[in-house]
Structure 1
Amino acid sequence: MMYFWVASLVLIVICAVFIFLPALKRRENNDQVLRDELNKAFYKDRLSELKEESNEGLVEDQQDLINDLKQSLLDDIPSDKLQQRQQALSPWLILVPSVLLMGVLSYALYAHFGAAQQVKAWQDVTNNLPELSKKLMQQDGAVLTDQEMQDLTLGLRTRLHYNPEDATGWMLLGRIGLANRDTGTSVGAMKKAYDLKPDDQDIQLGYAQALMLSQDEADQEVARNLLLQLTKQDYVDIRVFSLLAFDAYERQDFTSAIKYWGVMQQMIGPNDQRYEMLTRSIDNAKQQMSGSKANQASVKVTINLGDAVVLDPNAVLIVSVHHANGSPMPVAAARYPVSSFPLTVELDDRNSMLESSKLSDLDSLMVRVRLDSDGNVATKQGDWFGESKVVKIDEPVNITINQQYP
């Protein structure tokens, strides 16, 4: 704030100089001197004319005319009172109030229309940035209030505006995005930090954590690779295994999730209060794994082409599982690119069409296979197809595509 006052005072002084400069350069009594010089010149010229006129006999009372000329010269001299008034009217009486008025009016207009309070708040936040940054680094933003988050974001953006090569600043901004579940901000900021310092383990971890929030499978795969690279370091942060375990659990890879949680238990020891929580997570994953194995059902289908079939390389293979009564609405379906035949595919509950009707709920079923040539599943004209007989849920299915829709 001190810089504002100094800068504003300097501007006022410069304006005052421009106001004072014309008055300081003005010569005192300049008008009176010019008038006196002009009157003297006029008086001398008139005396010369009277002398010539007298020699020529044109003037009779030369002395009277000279006296009148002297009187005219005396009448043109300003009176003492007028000179005193002119001397008393000092330019400072105008200049000083003008400068004061300019200063008061300038500050008053800024106080009304300016943003002094906002600027002061911004400067206070910038000065408080180191303390807020330290708090965020220690607690991962868990104890920061909403206002502190806003202040920290403002301060960091100001700092990064003037120093865009600050990798730590970008990492902190990314952590704020993580705390606010702002995927765009967190991924963008962490990527900038990673581009600046790709070997920094804290930045690698933060970038992976941000990418885990993305809905893009490619981003999540990059995050997994970063985390797996971190597991090969001499020192591994426990959060690396926590993220890997969470990701594996979300992907229903319960075996990997159990392995990572077990590693975390070894790192913290049984006396840590988190040990029991990890035990419960492992037990839950084991239950999920045993339940999915017990209830999991799948249908393995082997597909052959009939001799009369002309294979369109742009066609798509559609495999659908139906109720044993041949209902046209499939229970499960999947689409595959055309490749070499015979071809074996496997469908399970992940291919179910409805949550309320799963493949594992069937006791018996039939399978239909079709080569869709136009990319529209609703049209069948000219498509080749085949279907199986009714089989049990655990029986393999063999189908030959040898029929064509008219």
Structure 2
Amino acid sequence: MTLFWISTLILVLIALAFLIVPVFVGSNQDQVASRDELNKAFFRDRLGELKEENSEGLIASPDEMEVELQQSLLDDVPAEQIQQYTLFKPWLMLPGVLVILGLSYGLYSIVGNQQKVATWQETVSRLPQLTQKLMVQHADPLTDEEMDALTLGLRTRLHERPNDATGWLLLGRIGIANRDIETAQGAMKRALDLEPTDPTLQLEYARTLMMGGEPGQLQFARTMLKHLLERHPTNFEAMALLAFDAFSQGDYPVAIQFWEQMKSLPGIGDDRLRMIEGGIAQAKKEIERAANPSPGVTVTVNLAPSVTLPEQGIVIVSVHTADGAPMPLAARRLPLSRFPLTLTLTDSDSMIPDRLMSQQSKLIVRARIDRDGNVATKDGDWFGESGIVSLGGETSITIQSQF
């Protein structure tokens, strides 16, 4: 802000210069012009008198008198007479100076959005703190206000330093968290263009392409991830993305193959191992279900733009009786990958063997994003619900509400 006020002071001084400099320069020129005009007037008057005296025979040497007149008039113009008409008074400029200062800073205080500029500067100063909080895995998630502040701060820094690959990476991750696919893809692409051999940037860019769901983008992302695994065969995240992609495309054997490879990686941890085992079990159920089809309900689960996905969690899709009873007839847990999700729930997904979906003619379907894997806790979870659907029919759900 100090630089800003210095800049405004310089501009105001330049404006004042346009007022003051011409006054002084013009005053000097006026004084010179006035002196010249006065000399000429004296010379013409006295010359006329000499001619009259010469015609009357009062002057013996008119030429010498004319030369003497020219010399005396050049030397003896009364400076006091000139000054009394040309004397400049500096205090007369004071109103003009005050008007310029008042207009400059007065108008800025009205239309300059000074408070917004101050808030912007304060937000930029918080960028390191917010960045650190975003990068810490087990820290509390950023609030919407903090996320907006972080985005503004990052965009400001990237405007000043457009070749900062880390800054573009962070902006892309914010786009992913906000489900802003366009921003995420654009930021990750800029980061990858700056560091094309960085495996982290390759992984993140592939993730954003998969979130978009466009066929061409999906194929490009798969190719990028496979090339990444050729150079880094133990990259867990690349395998996980390919496994989730294969599962969502219904290619369950390929998904199982990737998950089995992930199980053999060193240091994957218990949480990841449980996630892998759950994915394998679900893929095997899907293979069995495809081999032994039974009447069910096909559902497509969409995600509203306002939904913020947690870093970890699962999607629970459940089928209930048409009266909306809380106890589900059938349910399925799915990895939290990309949306929309399309699946078919049948009797093989039943929760209680003696309460089968096939025994009901009308059903409703619910979907919930579960953050901790505990179905008993729902606070903060996002959910959606379908209308009444017939057994064997199709429906869609948009997850857009929050407990």
Counterpart of 1:14 in structure 2 is: 14
Q: Distance in 2 between matches of 1:355 and 1:235?
A: 35
The residue type paired with residue 147 of structure 1 is E
Select between 205-214 and 164-173 the one with higher mean Cα deviation.
164-173
Query: Structure 1 residue 175 and structure 2 residue 173: aligned?
Result: yes
How many equivalent pairs are there? Answer: 277
Q: Distance in 2 between matches of 1:213 and 1:7?
A: 46
Counterpart of 2:46 in structure 1 is: 44
Query: Structure 1 residue 101 and structure 2 residue 99: aligned?
Result: yes
- 8 Å CA contact retained: 2:154, 2:171: yes
Q: Distance in 1 between matches of 2:279 and 2:156?
A: 42
Counterpart of 1:222 in structure 2 is: 220
Deviation at 1:204, TM superposition (A): 0.9
- 8 Å CA contact retained: 2:234, 2:265: no
Deviation at 1:201, TM superposition (A): 0.4
Structure 1 residues 34 and 236: CA distance shift in structure 2, 3 A: same
Deviation at 1:163, TM superposition (A): 4.5
- Select the residue among 201, 208, 211 that pairs with 2:209: 211
Deviation at 1:270, TM superposition (A): 8.5
- 8 Å CA contact retained: 1:190, 1:203: yes
Q: Distance in 1 between matches of 2:250 and 2:225?
A: 18
Q: What is the aligned-residue RMSD (CA, Å)?
A: 4.0
Q: Distance in 2 between matches of 1:292 and 1:235?
A: 32
Q: Distance in 2 between matches of 1:270 and 1:164?
A: 36
Counterpart of 2:147 in structure 1 is: 149
- 8 Å CA contact retained: 1:230, 1:236: no
Query: Structure 1 residue 194 and structure 2 residue 192: aligned?
Result: yes
Give the TM-score taking structure 2 as reference length. 0.56
Q: Distance in 2 between matches of 1:270 and 1:199?
A: 25
Counterpart of 1:114 in structure 2 is: 112
Give the TM-score taking structure 1 as reference length. 0.56
Q: Distance in 2 between matches of 1:99 and 1:179?
A: 54
Structure 2, unmatched stretches of 5+, are 59-77, 295-343, 347-403
Q: Distance in 1 between matches of 2:226 and 2:80?
A: 103
Deviations 1:178-210 (A, max 9, x none): 222222222233233333333210111011101
Q: Distance in 1 between matches of 2:138 and 2:221?
A: 19
Structure 1 residues 99 and 262: CA distance shift in structure 2, 3 A: same
Deviations 1:328-377 (A, max 9, x none): xxxxxxxxxxxxxxxxxxxxxxxxxx999xxxxxxxxxxxxxxxxxxxxx
Structure 1 residues 236 and 104: CA distance shift in structure 2, 3 A: farther
Q: Distance in 2 between matches of 1:271 and 1:355?
A: 31
Structure 1 residues 38 and 242: CA distance shift in structure 2, 3 A: same
Q: Distance in 2 between matches of 1:155 and 1:279?
A: 41
What secondary structure is seen at the aligned counterpart in 1 of 2:212? Answer: coil
Counterpart of 2:89 in structure 1 is: 91
Deviations 1:17-61 (A, max 9, x none): 2222233232496687567646643663354255346549xxxxx
Select between 91-100 and 141-150 the one with higher mean Cα deviation.
141-150
The residue type paired with residue 51 of structure 1 is E
Structure 1 residues 90 and 54: CA distance shift in structure 2, 3 A: closer
Counterpart of 1:325 in structure 2 is: none
Q: Distance in 1 between matches of 2:290 and 2:45?
A: 128
Q: Distance in 2 between matches of 1:142 and 1:245?
A: 29
Structure 1 residues 265 and 53: CA distance shift in structure 2, 3 A: same
Aligned 1:24-39 pairs, distance under 5 A: 24-25=24-25, 26-27=27-28, 33=35, 37=39
Counterpart of 1:324 in structure 2 is: none
Q: Distance in 1 between matches of 2:41 and 2:226?
A: 105
Q: Which has the larger radius of gyration?
A: 1
Answer 1 or 2: higher relative contact order, Cα 8 Å, separation at least 6: 2
What secondary structure is seen at the aligned counterpart in 2 of 1:122? Answer: helix
Structure 1 residues 142 and 79: CA distance shift in structure 2, 3 A: closer
What secondary structure is seen at the aligned counterpart in 1 of 2:278? Answer: helix
Q: Distance in 2 between matches of 1:93 and 1:31?
A: 23
Structure 1 residues 237 and 141: CA distance shift in structure 2, 3 A: farther
Deviation at 1:131, TM superposition (A): 4.0
Counterpart of 1:304 in structure 2 is: none
What secondary structure is seen at the aligned counterpart in 2 of 1:181? Answer: coil
The residue type paired with residue 114 of structure 2 is A
Deviation at 1:2, TM superposition (A): 1.9
Q: Distance in 2 between matches of 1:138 and 1:123?
A: 24
The residue type paired with residue 250 of structure 1 is S
The residue type paired with residue 4 of structure 2 is F
Structure 1 residues 160 and 39: CA distance shift in structure 2, 3 A: closer
Deviation at 1:216, TM superposition (A): 2.1
Counterpart of 1:301 in structure 2 is: none
What secondary structure is seen at the aligned counterpart in 1 of 2:292? Answer: helix
The residue type paired with residue 276 of structure 1 is R
The residue type paired with residue 53 of structure 2 is K
The residue type paired with residue 191 of structure 2 is A
Aligned 1:299-310 pairs, distance under 5 A: none
Q: Distance in 1 between matches of 2:268 and 2:19?
A: 82
Aligned 1:211-250 pairs, distance under 5 A: 211-234=209-232, 236-250=234-248
What secondary structure is seen at the aligned counterpart in 2 of 1:295? Answer: coil
- Select the residue among 271, 280, 283 that pairs with 1:282: 280
